[in-house]
Structure 1
Amino acid sequence: MNTYEYKSLAELLNLTDKYTLPLSKVVMLREMEESEKPESTVLDIMDKRIDVFYESIQTGLNDTTQSVSGLVGGDAARLAAAASVLLGDVSRRAAVYALAINEANAKMFRIVACPTAGSCGIVPAVILAVAEEKKYERQSCIQAFFTAAGIGAVIARNACVAGAVGGCQAECGTAAAMAAAAVVELCGGTPVQAVQAATLCLKNVLGLVCDPVAGLVEVPCVKRNGFFAVHALTAAEMALAGIVSVIPPDEVVSAMYEIGRAMPVSLKETSEGGLARTPTGKEIAERLEKAMREQ
């Protein structure tokens, strides 16, 4: 059955209008069609993902040791313990959670790639931070994650979510767009506002390169997750206020795809450009390579 099939953000919105359903419900019904699983099973799978998200947050906060490379570790706990100076409670919590989850990833603890391991902190950090601050129930979180999944599926279909293909605009950019749409619905926004949030978010990360130092998903990846969690909240806030993108949603996705194609290979996860080729970036890579040879 293809009753709830969508290939674009416009088609996704059309389905919400046609059936008078929120984005999350349309995405869930599509998942049921594709997987041929009942609603209870699909909901249970998503519910278990939330358990992993919380596990990753706690692991990242509690384990303050350095990663094997020595490049990351302890920053989530450091931010959580520091006195608040500028960020509001939701933004600060989201940033802490995003750092924690991505630090957990860097140290090989269990995470959920959403949409990728390198950007795994953004979606859960934003949704769970908002849900905790606003006292939303777990069922609402489950629905929000379906909304995020629907946005990610469209971007993956029409552009990409891999840094090796489209740069970090495809990884952290997609994750932030997913998160922004999800929390708009979580906060009572309309499907149109949710898609606008994703669009506002994505259009403002276009051109973001993927330049991991020493080829590791650590620098700048971990801190980038923290930054783009806050970016997603900014887009959501704008969309909830009625701000819209001048460029339509699907055109923004297409632009991301074209920019990814035009981006040099050196800036697409090869560690041959950007931060990876700074003097310090090269020194780190050489030092780690030497350490591996000596093992």
Structure 2
Amino acid sequence: MRFTNLEQLIRLCEEESVTIGQLMMTEQAAETGKLAQQVIEQMAAYYEIMKEAVHKGIESDAKPRSGLTGGDARRVHSYLHNGVPSLGAESCTAMAYALAVSEINASMGRVIATPTAGSCGIIPGVFVSSQERFGWSDAYMVQGLFSAGAIGYVIANNSFVSGAEGGCQAEIGSAIGMAAGALVELRGGTPEQAVHAVGLALKNTLGLICDPVAGLVEIPCIVRNGFGAVTAMAAADMALSGIKSVIPSDEVIDVMLEVGSAMPEKHRETALGGLAQTPTGRKMMKELYANEEG
């Protein structure tokens, strides 16, 4: 790739008068030695899987084998149509869709890791709900995925995207930043605004620990996906309104690396701390494994 940080990404886009998504598509083709149409078709296939997971999670009652979770996406979707969501219809839809994909993942269904399975609901939640709202084509959404991919590429190569390495700030945080920046671009924002959205999003998740109850990607992972979709939309709106990340986004990514490196091991996907070690968390783990042994 011709860029290693977000500042370089902005400069290349401005010099070549292209969007982040367009630049990333060209870079991906060059990196893989494939034709541009081939990488576009591959990304389009990924988007189909995302949409499939959204609809399956909403239309069916995905039940993880653990029995610990399930049905939250449908609860929010029902509330959306039968209640008066404080978030408004758009954000509530994104939240329901993000929960749906995360529940499909927990029930061993097919998802796209964006950037990880634990954060797989955020980008689909934001993208599919926004597509429905604005009437965007699938081809347009695919360009957005390339934009999200460019942002994820920078984060992964300068910090973490793995909860085991950097806590949940690395998984959920990265996905929020990717979704926020891509949404800005889909809404017609500039590459600079998209990058500001990334910084705004990441600053709001710094220090988030990874503490899965019973070691499963369910509690609190699923609800964090729902919250993450809403946060991504908020960061995008802030950036589109003209708010900037006062600390440059590349520096925020550096801080995520610093914070993740200093995070105790028990708060990095080991289930040895945080919510996993609450009295209820320990009880759930004991009962789950007792049932499995039985």
TM-score after normalising by structure 2? 0.97
Deviates more, 1:8-17 or 1:234-243: 8-17
The residue number in structure 2 matching 1:123 is 123
Deviates more, 1:82-91 or 1:165-174: 82-91
Give 2:39's match in structure 1, choosing from 11, 33, 42.
Answer: 42
1:193 aligned counterpart, secondary structure: helix
Alpha-carbon offset, residue 60 of structure 1? 1.1
2:56 matches 1:70: no
CA-based RMSD:
0.9
The residue number in structure 2 matching 1:96 is 96
CA distance in 2, matches of 1:84, 1:35: 48
Letter of the 2:165 counterpart: V
Preserved CA contact (<8 Å) 1:59 1:109: no
CA distance in 1, matches of 2:242, 2:266: 39
The residue number in structure 1 matching 2:22 is 25
2:219 matches 1:219: yes
2:193 matches 1:196: no
Deviation string, structure 1 residues 181-227 (Cα, Å, up to 9, x no partner): 01100000000000100110001100000000000000000011000
The residue number in structure 2 matching 1:244 is 244
Deviates more, 1:61-70 or 1:245-254: 61-70
The residue number in structure 2 matching 1:157 is 157
Runs of 4+ in 1 over 3 A off after TM superposition: none
Deviation string, structure 1 residues 137-184 (Cα, Å, up to 9, x no partner): 222101111100000000000001000000000000000000000110
The residue number in structure 2 matching 1:176 is 176
CA distance in 1, matches of 2:145, 2:6: 17
Alpha-carbon offset, residue 59 of structure 1? 1.7
The residue number in structure 2 matching 1:53 is 50
The residue number in structure 2 matching 1:6 is 3
Letter of the 1:37 counterpart: K
CA distance in 2, matches of 1:44, 1:17: 26
Deviation string, structure 1 residues 6-27 (Cα, Å, up to 9, x no partner): 1111111111011111110111
CA distance in 1, matches of 2:193, 2:259: 25
The residue number in structure 2 matching 1:132 is 132
CA distance in 2, matches of 1:232, 1:85: 18
Unaligned runs of 5+ in 2: none
Letter of the 1:17 counterpart: E
Instruction: State how 1:265-276 maps to structure 2 within 5 Å.
Output: 265-276=265-276
TM-score after normalising by structure 1? 0.97
CA distance in 2, matches of 1:43, 1:262: 39
The residue number in structure 2 matching 1:79 is 76
Preserved CA contact (<8 Å) 1:211 1:276: yes
2:118 aligned counterpart, secondary structure: coil
CA distance in 2, matches of 1:88, 1:99: 17
CA distance in 2, matches of 1:171, 1:108: 19
Letter of the 2:14 counterpart: D
Preserved CA contact (<8 Å) 1:212 1:220: yes
Preserved CA contact (<8 Å) 1:170 1:256: yes
Letter of the 2:234 counterpart: T
CA distance in 1, matches of 2:64, 2:37: 38
Deviates more, 1:95-104 or 1:9-18: 9-18
Deviates more, 1:168-177 or 1:285-294: 285-294
Alignment length (residue pairs):
291
CA distance in 1, matches of 2:126, 2:198: 13
Letter of the 2:166 counterpart: G
CA distance in 2, matches of 1:65, 1:124: 17
Letter of the 2:225 counterpart: N
CA distance in 1, matches of 2:121, 2:102: 5
